[in-house]
A and B are shown apart, each in its own frame.
Chain A
Amino acid sequence: MKTLLHMQGLTKEYGKEKAVDNVTFSLNKHTSTALIGPNGAGKTTILSVLAGLLKQTKGSIVFDGEITEDFRKVIGFLPQYPKFYSWLTALEYTEMTAKLSGVDAKIARLEAEKTLEFLGLGDAKKKKTGTFSGGMKQRLGLAQAIVHKPSLLLLDEPVSALDPIGRREILNLLKELQASTTILYSTHILNDAEEMTDQLLFLRKGKLVEQGSLGEVQEKYANPVYKMYFSSSEEAARFVEISPWSARQEDSIAFIHIEEEKPLMNEVLRVLSDSNLSLSKVERATASLEEIFLQVVNKG
């Protein structure tokens, strides 16, 4: 897979405070990457540097093989709360942003119409943006970000302000876009990241603390567990007591952490049959992204 962007040692300082500290990562073409971290981790700062709104203190960015300072021609940017000129209609606004991004004036209107149609705003294109609902604003925000067909799409918390239906719609649109562009987005809603991502970048206090594909991170952080459902919490507690493996208990469920594929299920069942405990269900589970997030963010 070809690399579209490589960020090397990016640092952004505000006085003595480091908002982003020596962050290095690459984005492959036509992939989507999630920047994950708690508030203040540096997600928006990284996106702002790429969008040309902030200048890094240190570090270089190679775009398509060349060291670049100004990405404004090749990116589309959607801030977390996009703000529009309330006195322009959706079509006027999208057409204006298309022209400003370098789309030929002759086809800018057509492109704007097509984009609004694609995002489901075809009926509202003649309405002033000041009358738009939250979901419509997010779509219009996306429209201005993609109307000029950028090779890199930067999205800051693209769905966190939306209701579940709006979130689902925008996520589906983003998945469609993935085929034609490279997406870098920040989020703290981990279900979204789990759903739409090729690469995860975990940030904490400006530092990149973990990166990899969902599978890689899950493998590294979450050893699988057996989730064993007992009829009462006393039984679960007794099992944890007699278990020769590292185990813990939550209510009536006992967890055995599996390391290097040990123990095997039949060993566990043997211990169970010796103990006369009544087991109702056993599951082999992997940790959710949320559990990994908490582990990564809390470590160190």
Chain B
Amino acid sequence: MNNFSVLFQKEWRENVRNFKILWIPLVFLLFGISEPLMNYFLPQILNAVGNMPEGTVFQLPEFTPEQIVMSTINQYQFIGMLVVTLGFAGIIARERKNGTATLLYVRPLSYISYVYSKLFIMCILVVGSVILGLLANLYYTYVLFGSVDAGAFMGFLGTYIVWLLFVISIVLFSSATFSTGIASVVSLLLVIFVQLIDGLLGAYWTISPWKLPMYAGGILNGSVNMTSFVWSVTVTVLAVIVLLAGAVYFAKRNVSKTKI
């Protein structure tokens, strides 16, 4: 892995200096905190600003702490994934397009190090932000709704991180293979659109990387089918390996597409 540390330092400086290190965690923190708060204070909020007639009574369902955590994940699954796919679709493609990568590619660097430096920075930003957001979420859920079983939460978090690795690999692969615009579309289709399809038609199959967030929720409230879960994790890990190998292959192959 020659040059990895040099390339990683470059990625780190870039993300510190363009403030991604700040705003991506903030997005996940915001959704992590707002979900329990909104659910808890909804009756008061509606009373204060809802313009309701005097004496209106709402019968809101009682949420369990697990349900609050899962509704946060639903937010992450849409807005969070939108931020990840659009925020990183250019991570390799943009360098090629604007010509800054040319002066890297003319050096004896290993493309494995090159892709992995990008993978690491994405993992730190995305996985780190999600962990931060979920911990904040867990705190407010605990204060307002009650505690979540620690073991179940760890299992849930671990599963969700595998899903995040899958998303990161898709984005990295698309960026290595296509131009920024196409990479954004492909990542969005693979992450969000396929997720919708899996949600609509997924009753016909049980093993799918796109079902991992659902299985993560299942672990949280103790209702997961272990066989399907283990197979889904296995398939996802294999997909991650294939996508990363593909990303390295296409990053190298597309060197000739860099702007000279």
Contacts and interface: CB of A to CB of B under 8 A. Distances in A.
A-B pairs with lowest CB-CB distance, top 9:
A83-B99, A87-B17, A72-B108, A100-B107, A77-B106, A99-B6, A51-B106, A83-B100, A73-B108
Contacts of B9: 96
Given A97-B107, A99-B6, A105-B6, 11 more contacts: A52-B105, A53-B106, A53-B255, A72-B107, A72-B108, A79-B103, A84-B100, A87-B17, A96-B9, A100-B108, A101-B108
Contacts of B100: 83-85
Contact of B260 (A73, A85, A141, A156): A156
Interface in A66-81: 70, 72-73, 75, 77, 79-81
7 contacts: A52-B105, A53-B105, A55-B256, A77-B106, A79-B260, A83-B103, A100-B3
B107 to A, nearest CB: 4
A82 B103 contact: yes
Nearest to A86: B100
A102 interface: yes
Interface of A: 44, 48, 51-55, 70, 72-73, 75, 77, 79-85, 87-88, 92, 96-97, 99-102, 105, 141, 144, 156
B98 interface: yes
B15 to A, nearest CB: 10
B14 A72 contact: no
B242 interface: no
Nearest to A77: B106
Contacts of A100: 3, 6-7, 104, 107-109
Contacts of B259: 83
A53 B257 CA distance: 8
B256 A54 contact: yes
B112 to A, nearest CB: 14
A11 B256 CA distance: 16
Contacts of B99: 79, 81-83
A44 B6 CA distance: 29
A53 B260 contact: yes
Interface string B14-28: 100110000000000
B203 to A, nearest CB: 48
Interface of B: 3, 6-7, 9-10, 13-14, 17-18, 98-100, 102-109, 255-256, 258-260
A156 B260 CA distance: 9
B108 A70 contact: yes
Nearest to B102: A79
Nearest to A148: B107
B103 A77 contact: yes
B260 A96 contact: no
A92 B259 CA distance: 22
A119 to B, nearest CB: 16
Contact of B106 (A44, A52, A84, A99): A52
Nearest to B103: A144
Q: Is the interface of B mostly helix, strand, loop or mixed?
A: helix
A102 B98 CA distance: 25
Nearest to A129: B100
A103 to B, nearest CB: 11
Most buried by B among A51, A52, A83: A83
Most buried by B among A55, A84, A100, A141: A100
Given A72-B107, A73-B108, A83-B100, A44 B260 contact: yes
Contacts of B102: 53, 79, 82-83
A73 B2 CA distance: 13
A72 B105 CA distance: 8
A55 B255 CA distance: 10
Contacts of A82: 99, 102-103
A72 B107 CA distance: 5
A229 to B, nearest CB: 47
B113 to A, nearest CB: 10
A96 to B, nearest CB: 6
A97 B104 CA distance: 7
A17 B23 CA distance: 48
B167 to A, nearest CB: 26
A75 B6 CA distance: 20
A7 to B, nearest CB: 18
Contacts of A81: 99
Contact of B13 (A52, A70, A79, A88): A88
B1 to A, nearest CB: 13
A107 to B, nearest CB: 14
A85 B3 CA distance: 18
A79 B259 CA distance: 9
Nearest to A74: B108
Given A55-B256, A84-B100, A96 B10 contact: yes
Contacts of A144: 103
Nearest to A102: B108
A53 B102 CA distance: 8
B104 to A, nearest CB: 7
Contacts of A70: 108
Nearest to B109: A100
